[in-house]
Chain A
Amino acid sequence: MGINIYKAAIGSYIMPVFTALFAIFMPDVRTSFNYIIMAVFVVNIVSFLAMLAIFKKKKRPNAARLVILFNMLAFSLFFTFPLIKALIGQTSLQLILFILFFVCIGLAIYDQKQEVPLVLPPKESKGRKFVFVFYAIPVLMAIIAGGGNFIIVREITNFLGQGYVTYVGGVCLYVLGCWFAFFLQSLFYQGFTKNGVWVK
């Protein structure tokens, strides 16, 4: 496609920045989550450098591809932070939500090993009855969250209070984060492997 994979890998660090904005400022509570956000960026940078050092020259493009995946997962992870931060003081619930996020990533790999995966199913596949439900999830979240229209959200907030953004919005973003994690992991897995085998 003519895209320089290394430039793309470096550019991919921008993606988590978009959602880190939500993770840092929503909701307006003091937590140690900012350190977690910084740690995620550091891990992604260090892992890229480490992989470049470890991988042989022929395999180094794979390091770049993996870093892009990591950054896209970080992008998804930061979607979940507003709700997890809002549940400050309820550590167990926060942990469950964290784990659930990573479960979604695992489920994506599991799903791709199925005959008819949810994401990019084979052309002639049958039994796609759950596919429509899967793609309806973000649409449903978008409806609940005001359709992405900030004026509508502002008016709803004026009417229902800040709790709407904190909890309802937080849940929407959390579900969206899990959905993105599942979706992107599926997409990348399908590109990286063929029946579970690394082909790049």
Chain B
Amino acid sequence: MIAFLLFWSALPSISMAFFITPGKPITPGQAITGGQPITGGQFILPGDPIQGGEAYNAGPGLKGGNTSSSGQPIVPPYQNSNGQFIPAIPSSLPINKPITAGDAITGGQGPSGGQGANGGNATEGGTNPTGGNAINGGDGQTGGTSPTGGDGSSGGNPVNGGEGPSTGESLTGGDSPNGGDGSTSGGSLPAGDPSSGNVNNSNGTTPGGDGTGGGTGAGAGAGSGTANPSFAQQTFTALKDTKKMFVSIPNYLGQMLDGGLSVMAGFKITDLKTASGKRNLIQVDGRATAVKGSGSISTWLNMRYSDYLNSFENSKSVVRGKGGSVAVINSDGTKSTRNYAIFQPRSGSKIKQKHVQGFINEVTSFKSVWTKTKDYMKKNWIPLDKWKVNKDFFKAKSVLAKGNGIANIVLSVGSRLAENAADPKRTGTDLAAGITTDVLLGAGQTAISAGAGWGASVLTAAAVGSVVPGVGTIVGAGVGLGLALFMSSNTGKTISRKVESVVKSGIEWVKNSKLGKGIRGLFGG
């Protein structure tokens, strides 16, 4: 069957193939020639330009708080009261109130919300509350998007009202946004007082946030509290001024050493009693060096002796300088030579008294001693001069940088800070009073010891007939040493405490009174 079917279907094709014979080959025709090119047409001339329409003139800007155009309908009277909390005492506002403001919706003032359409202007008005947000106001034009106005200082919500105009239901919409927010909308306008909690206002949603804004106000109060640091700053500024003097002025230990070296070297001026008055001859004695040897210690001691001789203001008449050099090791380990002047007495010289009178007065004159002591005390201990403020007293360099005892300020700060740390009851004023007391006691110690030293120098010269400067130096240092111990005795501590109490009262007076503020001005405070 299959073979039959195959045969039946294929046979006709096979039989037809016998009749197919190849035809004649196709001969190629003629080549197609190109046609004429298309010529360009005429250019199309543009028509008259379309002239732009008139620029859209923005309507009058909505003035802040001018709710008549838009806000009024939205803002119920109650809401106004809500909004006021922002400029007033934000923290006192209960957060819940805005919720109650939702009642405003019931005000039915929604209809007037139609006016909200004018609220388009309100977009610009948005500027009122929060300036920059006014830009967002532009969005407002697009329609209720102005809610961005809400972005504004919470006032944006009323703008939402503006959306309403499109449907009139906007009012209800306004309510919905977030209920309470709607209430805040009223507040938004008065909220123009960005003074408080601007950031929170930008949220515009939660009055509670405003409360926090109020908190920032409190922060300002904290600012006033910075007065104390400024006082401390002054103290440390004064310390800075003191540093140089602290390094350069020898303490009583150094004075004791210098005086001893001077006497060891036999430095003295003897009255030869050759004539009366200034024509009288005096003789200078003293070795060039205090100790023999060229070791490091000997060199150091002799350098101290040299510096001591040069420390007198009128030393040139009795001391001469001689150049020298010494090998020093630098910080990087290398060696170098430093030139310096070695001072030594004009030993053996017989000089007319008039030439050395300045030096003699410096170390022996009662008048000189009294003047120096008086000036020192005036500058360091007496705040009033002829019933006027003694500016010298308040100059940091005068109070903190003069005299050996005053160098103690550096130690005093450390000591008093530790005292404050140990006793929590002590305040910054106590600290300042403590340091000031130490300064005053140091100044007093210096003045008394210097006076004793000068006195000893005068008395020696008067009784012995020779001026021995080293005696005054040693005696003065001895008195200073005794005073240091005395101030740590029970009596000394009592005196110190009383002085500190007076100083503390003085500081508080300076801080509080008008005259005191004037005095603070002297410090630049």
Contacts and interface: CB of A to CB of B under 8 A. Distances in A.
B411 A12 contact: no
Contacts of A143: 253
Contacts of B411: 149, 151-152
B287 interface: yes
Interface string A95-137: 0000000000000000000000001110100000001100110
Given A22-B486, A150-B488, A180-B475, A1 B481 contact: no
A155 to B, nearest CB: 6
B489 A119 contact: no
A8 B454 CA distance: 12
Contacts of A8: 458-459, 462-463
Contact of A187 (B441, B460, B483): B460
Interface residues of A, number: 71
B341 interface: no
Contacts of B415: 151, 154-155
Interface string B379-393: 000000000000000
Interface string B227-255: 00000000000000000000000011100
Interface stretch (B47-55, B102-110, B257-265): B257-265
A147 B252 contact: yes
A190 B456 CA distance: 16
Given A139-B253, A155-B415, A183-B474, A69 B463 contact: yes
Given A19-B479, A25-B489, A148-B480, A72 B466 contact: no
B490 interface: yes
B263 A148 contact: no
B75 interface: no
A148 B455 contact: no
Contacts of B442: 150-151
Nearest to B260: A135
A68 interface: yes
Taking chain A's interface residues, is the majority helix, strand, or loop, or is none over half, making it mixed? helix
Contacts, number: 197
B448 interface: yes
Contacts of A121: 266
Contact of A138 (B441, B464, B465, B478): B478
A1 B461 contact: yes
A196 interface: no
B465 A191 contact: yes
Given A153-B485, A154-B487, A165-B489, A148 B462 contact: no
Interface in A179-194: 180, 183-184, 187-188, 190-192
Contacts of A65: 462-463
B366 interface: yes
Interface string B326-356: 0000000000000000000001000001000
A188 B291 CA distance: 24
Interface in B437-475: 438, 441-442, 445, 448, 452, 455-456, 458-468, 471, 474-475
Contacts of A12: 455, 459
Contacts of A173: 481-482, 485
A71 B460 CA distance: 11
A132 B463 CA distance: 26
B67 interface: no
The 9 closest A-B pairs by CB, nearest first: A148-B252, A191-B464, A8-B462, A135-B260, A25-B491, A150-B484, A169-B485, A68-B463, A148-B481
9 contacts: A25-B491, A64-B462, A123-B266, A142-B481, A147-B253, A148-B253, A151-B438, A154-B488, A155-B415
Interface of A: 1-5, 7-9, 11-12, 14-15, 18-19, 21-22, 25-28, 64-65, 68-69, 71-72, 75, 79, 82, 119-121, 123, 131-132, 135-136, 138-139, 141-143, 145-155, 157, 162, 164-166, 169, 172-173, 176, 180, 183-184, 187-188, 190-192, 200
